[in-house]
Amino acid sequence: MFLMAARDIVFDLDGTLIDSAPSILASMQAAFDGVGLVPCAALTPALIGPPLVQTLRALLPEGAGEQALPALVEGFKRHYDAIGYQQTTVYPGVQDMLQALVHMPLRLHIATNKRIAPTRRIVEHLGWGGVFTSVHALDAYAPALVHKAAMLQHLRYVLTDPVPLYVGDRAEDAEAAHASGMAFLWASWGYGGCDAPVLPANVLRVPLQLAQVVHNPLGQSAMATP
């Protein structure tokens, strides 16, 4: 990891800061139950990450047709926004990492595929209201953005940092950071696991390692953009 000059650190949410799999999968199951359908694949944490509509579309059983999708989306939103989001848990070490980072001359942000409404509820629920300078989601833009790369490309030119840092846990996160010109670190504790599509030096083994890198950048090897 190179001389850490970043002053804007942008985090993915699901799989990076929080383990939202139990809550998301429960809300997906509730949505399918509500329309009397059975998903065509097992509801596992591997589904977490892509935009909601994309995931639910992929889970439609044969013969269901696109006409079932709006009801599934609304069913998920009702369940997740009312009670599902409260089942979110913070990964071990993340709270300590954030506490360390907020005492440094940094600006912390969230950029997620999750909808903006539950994202804000989760941030407040976890007591992170004063931690993050800004929170971004695909549907927070008008018109809504189609993928994370577009969101990071926007942030790349809105943030004052010449080379912001993005922290995520999936290949999509690494690709989006690369497309936007951001530096990237892989959160190996998330849904993407340890098989990172990045250089070993760009892999965070535990959350607090990020705070150590920022605090003592000269002791690190080169962190390249992916």
Would you name the residues annotated as active-site residues? 12
The torsion region of residue 104 among left (phi > 0), alpha (psi -120 to 50) and beta comes to: beta
Mapped onto helix, strand or coil, the DSSP state of residue 106 is coil
* Cα 91 off chain centre by: 13
* Residue pair 214/207 in contact by the 8 Å Cβ criterion: no
Token digits for 77?
Answer: 């939103």
Question: What's the longest Cα–Cα distance across the chain?
Answer: 58
